[in-house]
Every structure is written in C-alpha cells, then in structure tokens.
Structure 1
Amino acid sequence: MHTEEITKSSPDFVVEAETVADIAAREALLDRAMGLKRRKKSSEKLRRGRRPSEGLAFVARDSAGAVVGTVRLWDGRLGEGGPAALLLGPLAVDQTMKSGGIGSALMRHAIAEAGRLGHRAILLVGDAPYYARFGFSAEKTGSLAMPGPYERERFLALELVAGALDGTRGALKAAGHKLRAERTRLAA
C-alpha cells in the first residue's frame, strides 16, 4: 500500500517516512505503549546502536501532525554468512488511537516498501494471531533462533520472495549501519 492510498482511505491519519524530528515523539510513544522494560528484550538488543534499514522507518501522524504510530525494519543476517533478512519492530500505536487501523496500515506499508526495495524476508517476535493476518507464521523459523531469551512460538517470519528462508539456520544477527555515537542513546 502506498502512502497516497493510506491518506485517501483514512482522514484520521497518514503514514509517512520517519524523520529525525520524530525521534523524541517515537521514543515517548514506545515507552508509553511497551514500558521501559522494552529495552531489555532480545529484539531491542539486536537494534541497539544501529540505524533502521534504509527507507524502512515509518510513523503515522494524526490530523494535527502528532506521531500516533511507529514501525521500523532493521537489517539482519541469518546465521554465519547466511542470507540477509529484516527484523520488524517495534510496532506501536498510541493507546487513544487503538483499533483505528493505524497498526494495520503501518504493517501493510512497511511490508510493501520492504518488497519494493528488494528485501526477501521479514522476521519478528510478536503475537502470532495478530501478525498472521499479514502472512507471518512460525512455519519458517524452526531452524532459526534469536539471540538471548525469547518465546519460540512468537518468533515469526514472512517470505517476500517464495523460498527465501528455505534451508536457513542459525541465530539472527544484527547487520546494517551503525549509529553515530551522539544518536545511539536516542535511537535505542
């Protein structure tokens, strides 16, 4: 789904590329939605000190321009020398805007953009019933692992290219560009 389509389908919000000016609002939204313990999760540790994948960080803004939703995708590698894959997350929506279609719009936009940019697979740790509607399942993650503690049944994958995860094994490792030192603290 393209940004123009999202704008037309919902006058209440628009999905667009995240900007540097959105960092503080995004972090505050994530703290409210997930609590401060979010920084201790295995997924967060993979993202720490890194920039999101080029062109794959999005926010939803309400009609006043405030950030009411966020999703990012991060570069990763499967196992030692294995194929590249994206790690999605976190996805969060302001509590006052829940059930308004923002999370779905962010997901559909992020998946479409990842495919358009040539990525082959997306992994995440999340609620299987929620993410199944976007095509995610644990079917392709059996030989894969997250570093650190995680719930295996919540480790999900979506192939953007059929067979992209066939034969993959090993732990997901961080890849992609590192943040400059002064921004590392804000972007974790």
Structure 2
Amino acid sequence: MSDLALTIRCETVNDAQAIERLHERTFGPGRFALSAYRLREHVDHLAELSFTARIGTLLVGSVRQLPILVGDTPALLLGPLTVEPPFRGRGVGRALLDRALGDAKAKGHRLVLLVGDADYYARVGFKPIAKGRVTMPGPVDPKRLLVAELADDAFAGVEGAIRPDWSFAREA
C-alpha cells in the first residue's frame, strides 16, 4: 500500500450513493438474496463503525458493520467489505478491516461475525465457527461463517440464531 495515498474515514450519509454503486459493480444484483442481506433489511449499519477508503476524492473501498444478536449476545456483523477491482491486492481491504475492528474494540464491542473467505479473514483474527453453533436467516456455507473475538473468551458459551439487534431498527 506504500504507493497509495489512502485515507480511511468514517462513512457519512453523503457516501451512501457511491457505496451503493460500488456494491452494485462488485457484487451485482444477486447480493440481495444473500443471508447477510436479510439481516440488513430493517436495521442500518453503524456509521461510526463503517468506513470508506479513498485515494484523493476517489472512493476505492468500503466496509460496514451492523448490530446483531447471536442468541442474546450483542455482536457486530462485518460486511460487506468491498474494494474496487483495480485496487485489490494493494492493502485497501486490510486497512479497512484494521480500522473497523480497532474502532469496534475501542468502543467496547466484543464480537464480530461475518460470512466470507476463511483464509483471507484469518489474517485479521477471524476463525471458523463450529457447524451448528450459530444459525443465519437463510442458507450459508458453514465454512464461511467466521468470528473474531475482540475480548478474551468473548465467544465462550455463545450460540443460537443470528438476528438483527432490533434496538437499532429503522423507524417505519
């Protein structure tokens, strides 16, 4: 990333359209059928824990975090994490992850879950969740369901259905 003048900052309401276009380009229309999107239908991501990556004024990446519950345990769902294809493999995703996880920990969050590639996310501390320990609203490859503990033993004894944290629900 040394050749990139990258700036990571909190997402703002003014970023919404550019991020939606980035998601459209990188994930396509099928993204709405994914289980993780079902969790996002009625609860917004936390802007103070969601970030953009820019080179100058160009948005090149984004990561969001959504408040969820695993059983009765508060957690965050990380994602989507996306980087414009020409900037992949240059540390943009890692910089976004480091900021998202670091700020979540600093704000007292203890658990972050995601659905993604175990090899990629292992670099920042994510580990696979034992099959059947938690369930998503819809089909998910159990090998892609991952957790990062931001506090020692934060995942000990945690199990159950993953659902939105309705205390953050949008007003109708």
TM surpasses 0.5: yes
Distance of 2:142 and 2:82 partners within structure 1: 21
Q: Kindly tell me the number of residue pairs found equivalent between the two proteins.
A: 171
Structure 1 residue matching 2:15: 3-state secondary structure: helix
Aligned counterpart, 1:41: 34
Q: Which amino acid aligns with 1:158?
A: A
The Cα shift of 1:56 comes to: 0.7
Q: Aligned pair 1:51/2:41, yes or no?
A: no
Deviations 1:86-145 (A, max 9, x none): 100000000121111100000000000000000000000000000000010114675111
Distance of 1:168 and 1:74 partners within structure 2: 18
Question: Which segment drifts farther, 36-45 or 131-140?
Answer: 131-140
User: Judging changes above 3 Å, is the alpha-carbon distance between structure 1 residues 11 and 33 closer, same or farther for their aligned structure 2 residues?
Assistant: same
Q: Aligned pair 1:78/2:70, yes or no?
A: yes
The Cα shift of 1:180 comes to: 4.5
- CA RMSD across the alignment: 1.7
Structure 2 residue matching 1:167: 3-state secondary structure: coil
Q: Where does the alignment leave 5 or more consecutive residues of structure 2 unmatched? A: none
Moved over 2 A (4+): 9-12, 139-142, 178-181
The Cα shift of 1:54 comes to: 5.2
Q: Aligned pair 1:159/2:149, yes or no?
A: yes
Q: Aligned pair 1:177/2:154, yes or no?
A: no
Q: Where does the alignment leave 5 or more consecutive residues of structure 1 unmatched? A: 1-5, 182-188
TM-score, normalized by length of structure 1? 0.85
Share of identical aligned residues, percent?
39
Distance of 1:169 and 1:178 partners within structure 2: 22
